[in-house]
């Protein structure tokens, strides 16, 4: 299974801090933000990672993380030439993901380390390489998140940053972690 970190965003909400640096390279506490999802995936046992970024920041990520050998992992880099959302980013990395299940984590999220690793490992055991899993968190106000409507344990609708406080009465927001089986590339087209 491959771990994918999305790190191509412009960070416009963090302007002017992100004028000259990718938001994923900004320090949070004592290390660059990208280290948090990287450590989460490594703690879950991932050895094969793909970082998707934009052409401008590729050199900075490569300089910071290299090929991962010094961390005991393999890091490959994929360029996403223009922002096109999660499906576009995944499709950009298709050569690394063909016929494989994979976990996607946004490069600008971080969780309580121990609890997240336990939850991720439990989810991976239940996954069994079939379908998709989207991690959710309860929120009071979904206007800053992608929210979902669930019916019979299936997602029936998603909306990014709804205008109304609650979308279909849902208080569930996508938190930036996804598990996909090897068929997802067929659906993206």
pLDDT digits (tens, 9 = 90+) for 30-76: 899 999 999 989 988 999 999 999 999 999 999 999 999 999 999 99
Which stretches in the chain have pLDDT values below 50?
none
- pLDDT value at residue 69: 95
Closest by CA to 47, choosing from 80, 75, 85, is 75
The tokens describing 129, both together, are 């390489």
Q: How far apart are CA 149 and CA 157, in angstroms?
A: 5
Q: Which two tokens stand for residue 107?
A: 């490069």
What is residue 168's predicted lDDT score, i.e. its pLDDT? 59
pLDDT, position 32:
92
The matching CATH number, chosen from 3.90.550.10, 3.40.50.970, 3.90.480.20, 2.40.160.10, for 2-134+174-188 is: 3.90.550.10
For residue 25, the tally of other CB atoms under 10 A from its CB is 20
CB 99 within 8 Å of CB 182: yes
Domain ranges in the chain are 2-134+174-188
pLDDT (0 to 100) of residue 167:
56
């Amino acid at each position: 299974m491959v771990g994918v970190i999305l790190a191509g965003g412009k960070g416009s909400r963090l302007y002017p801090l992100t004028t000259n640096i990718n938001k994923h390279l900004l320090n949070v506490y004592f290390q660059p933000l990208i280290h948090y999802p990287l450590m989460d995936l490594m703690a879950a046992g991932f050895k094969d990672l793909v970082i998707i970024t934009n052409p401008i920041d590729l050199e900075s990520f490569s300089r910071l993380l290299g090929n991962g050998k010094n961390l005991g992992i393999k890091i490959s880099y994929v360029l996403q030439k223009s922002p096109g959302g999660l499906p576009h980013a995944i499709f950009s990395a298709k050569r690394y993901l063909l016929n494989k299940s994979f976990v996607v984590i946004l490069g600008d999220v971080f969780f309580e380390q121990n609890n997240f690793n336990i939850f991720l490992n439990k989810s991976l055991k239940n996954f069994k390489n079939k379908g998709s899993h989207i991690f959710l968190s309860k929120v009071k106000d979904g206007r800053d998140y992608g929210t979902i409507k669930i019916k019979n344990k299936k997602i029936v609708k998603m909306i990014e940053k709804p205008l109304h406080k609650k979308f279909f009465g849902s208080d569930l927001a996508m938190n930036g972690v996804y598990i996909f089986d090897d068929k997802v590339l067929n659906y993206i087209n």
